[in-house]
């Protein structure tokens, strides 16, 4: 197969998303795409989201290991949210959120989801605390590049996640309804 027919499965990494003054952009996707990928991957997309934002922060000059911070993201979400808010405030972002409260909300959703089989689907909504963070990321990216557009297009790998995950999610919901009817 020649080079012109190769279709990438995933979007290019955030390391390539810099402005002319070489200031790295943070990883930003639309809320709809974030929710879709998060839910259809049963929360595994959180690792991609965390890794890409940690990589962008590393590209800003911080001495961190994005891979390890993504793998152990449950311990690092609070500091990731705080850094994103700090960078956005430096660019004039006037809204605010508590990184600690958003982190606690995510933890509560993760813990409640593991209490019993009846609460397991709650984990699908663990993306909700990220929405205010994503809003700050959008502001930050627009402030360093006024022409910034969030990628709303689903890449082939993401489409596969949505299709396969959607089928598994539908089967999970059917099984959950059957469990409740007993």
Distances from the Cα of 44 to the Cαs of 35, 41, 62, 165, 173, in angstroms? Answer: 12, 5, 25, 11, 18
Spell out the per-residue pLDDT of the chain, length 182, in tens.
444 455 555 565 554 444 445 688 999 999 999 999 999 998 899 999 999 999 999 999 999 999 999 999 999 999 999 999 999 999 999 999 999 999 999 999 888 888 877 777 788 888 999 999 999 999 999 999 999 988 888 889 999 999 999 999 898 888 878 776 76
Helix axes 73-90, 99-113, angle to 10 degrees: 150
Domain ranges of the chain: 24-180
Q: CA nearest 39: which of 175, 138, 158, 150?
A: 158
pTM: 0.81
């Amino acid at each position: 197969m020649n080079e012109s027919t190769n279709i990438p499965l995933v979007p290019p990494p955030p390391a390539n998303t810099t402005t002319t003054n070489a200031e790295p952009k943070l990883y930003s996707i639309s809320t709809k795409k974030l929710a879709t990928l998060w839910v259809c991957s049963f929360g595994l997309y959180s690792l991609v989201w965390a890794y890409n934002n940690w990589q962008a922060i590393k590209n800003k000059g911080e001495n961190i290991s994005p891979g390890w911070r993504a793998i152990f993201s449950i311990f690092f979400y609070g500091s990731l949210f705080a850094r994103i808010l700090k960078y956005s405030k430096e660019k004039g972002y006037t809204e605010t959120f508590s990184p600690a409260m958003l982190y606690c909300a995510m933890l509560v959703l993760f813990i409640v989801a593991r209490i019993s089989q009846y609460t397991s689907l709650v984990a699908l909504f663990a993306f909700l605390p990220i929405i205010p963070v994503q809003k700050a990321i959008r502001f930050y990216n627009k402030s360093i590049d006024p022409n910034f557009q969030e990628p709303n297009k689903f890449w082939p790998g993401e489409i596969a996640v949505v299709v396969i995950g959607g089928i598994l999610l539908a089967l999970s919901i059917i099984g959950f309804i059957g469990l409740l009817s007993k």
